Amino acid sequence: MLTHDKEFLQRYAEFSGRSSRSAFWWATLANALIQVAIGIAGAATAGVLFAALGGLYALAILVPSCAVGVRRLHDTDRSGWWLLISFVPVIGSIWLLVLMCLPSTTGANRFGALAAAPRSA
């Protein structure tokens, strides 16, 4: 998990290339867990500080999340513009989830070589 998070942070604004399915989902899981922890802490203390912290965190990961999403779509040989389908109510988010769950294309595609699996340190 840490190797995927490291890749997520190192390539935070890189929209070119490809990211594996596992790299995308580990980054998504880590961000969701952090947001849930901030939400729980905010609910437990009923403080505005945690609401502001949650908003700042969401802004901080906006570009990296879009970048890893675009690279994941590239890994399935689709344009990163497919990310915008999430703005279509209900069906758009479901279709984007399906696209993110699809396997990688084998070998190189128009977006580059197959993403190498990160090695554990």
Question: Is residue 15 within 8 Å of 70, Cβ to Cβ?
Answer: yes
Sign for the pseudo-dihedral over CA of 63, 91, 25, 14: negative
Q: Burial of 111 by CB count in 10 Å (0-12 exposed, 13-18 middle, 19+ buried)? A: buried
What's the pLDDT score for residue 66? Answer: 95
What single-letter DSSP state applies at residue 109?
Answer: B
Q: How far apart are CA 26 and CA 3, in angstroms?
A: 9
What's the pLDDT score for residue 37? Answer: 92
What's the pLDDT score for residue 112? Answer: 87
Global model pTM greater than 0.75 = yes
Q: Show the low-confidence residues of the chain (pLDDT under 70).
A: 1-6, 115-121
User: What are the boundaries of each domain within the chain?
Assistant: 2-101
What's the pLDDT score for residue 115? Answer: 66
Distance of alpha carbon 26 from its chain centroid, rounded? 8
pLDDT digits 0-9 by tens, 28-63: 999 999 999 998 988 888 778 888 888 999 999 999
Q: How far apart are CA 1 and CA 114, in angstroms?
A: 19
